[in-house]
Every structure is written in structure tokens, then in C-alpha cells.
Amino acid sequence: MRPHRLLALLAAIRTARVSSNVLIYKRTPSSLALTSRRALTATSISSAALYSTSAMTQPTPFYDLKTQQPDGKTYDFEQLKGKVVLIVNVASKCGFTPQYKGLEALHKKYKDQGLVILGFPCNQFGGQEPGTDQEVADFCEVNYGVTFPLMAKSDVNGENVNEVYKYLKEQKSGLLGLTRIKWNFEKFLVDKEGNVVNRWASTTSPEAIDAEIAKLL
């Protein structure tokens, strides 16, 4: 091969190598950027899924509640985890007082399946619960054979509302969006995860909510 042709060939080879390196250099940052974006996206999705799972398993504030029992001891709602709970404000001299019978029937029927009924005696409606805690307990036992827990007398409305009813009303409003308790024997139903899932007026009998309770057990 003639010398001038050999020199031209060597020059062409060097040019090709430089061009190849430039192309590689230009592609590499782009590829890294794309890989980086994909990695960040995957990390974000993974983090979001982890946060979502954590939020789903977070216990509700329902289990942080406490209330007073007639003997002065504290009833801690933490013991209600995994239970279906029916909470009722009760009175001994009300037209709805016979609902004690239906409540006790629900208690006996479902207590072994995880239902807990809590009665909250209250004297805010027509002064229909005037007695002491002991008198309330005696009345319920003698007249209706009540064996489900009754809490100490307390307010369910107003400035001195107990923390349980303050929470329940915030979670589930009543007719026309009103939150206040309107009369004796209103009912709140809480599922096994501590969510307040239903609220019924005084006129709704215990028998009428049997099926709704059974669905949650």
C-alpha cells in the first residue's frame, strides 16, 4: 500500500474511534438519568405502599378512651380491641326503658361471639335517671336481669360530656347531621377495628339492629 493511502487510512480509524467515544459519552449520562428516574419512582411507590399499609393497621382513637365505672375504677377501652361494641345511653324511668330487655337478649345471644354492650346511665333527658349508680344497677338487675356492664352516671351532651360520647358524636352524626344526643337509648355500633359504623335513634329497638350486629361478628 502506498504511504499516502496508509496515512489516510490511519487517520480515518482515529476519527472513527473518537466519534465512537463521543457517542458513548453522550449516551451514558442519559442512560444514567433514566435509570435514576426509574429507581426513584420504584422507591416512591414502595414508600407509598409501606405508608399506606402502616396507616391501615394504625389503631383508631376509640381504644384510647376511658370512662368511670360505678365503683370508681377506670374502664379502659383498650380491652375492647377485636370486639364489636354497642354503646347506649340509658335511663330507668323512660318510655324506652323496656329496651333493657332487648339489650340483655342481644348480650346473651352474642357475648360469646365478641359483642360487648356498654350502658351509660344519664339524667339529662327529663330527669329520668335520678338514682345513684347503685340504685340504677339494682333496678336493672331486678326488673330486666341486666348483666352487661353499666358505667357511672355521666353527661352525654353539654360542657361536661364524658369523653366517650364526645368521641362518638364526632364520628357519627344523627338525623339531619345533628351531633347531640336527643333522648335516652340512642345507640352507637362500633366494629372490630374501632370504627363507629352506625348510630340509631331511641325509637330503633334492639331487635331491629340484631342483623346489623351479626354482620360484624
Q: How far is C-alpha 22 from the chain's CA centre? A: 60
CA distance 184 to 123: 9
Nearest to 74 by CA among 12, 2, 162, 3: 162
Q: Is 94 a catalytic residue?
A: yes
Candidates 94, 137, 209, 214; catalytic one? 94
Distances (CA, A) of 49 to 36, 58, 78, 133: 20, 14, 28, 49
| Type and span of the H or E element at 153 | none
Note whether 136 and 142 are within 8 A (CB): no
Task: Return the active site residues.
Answer: 94
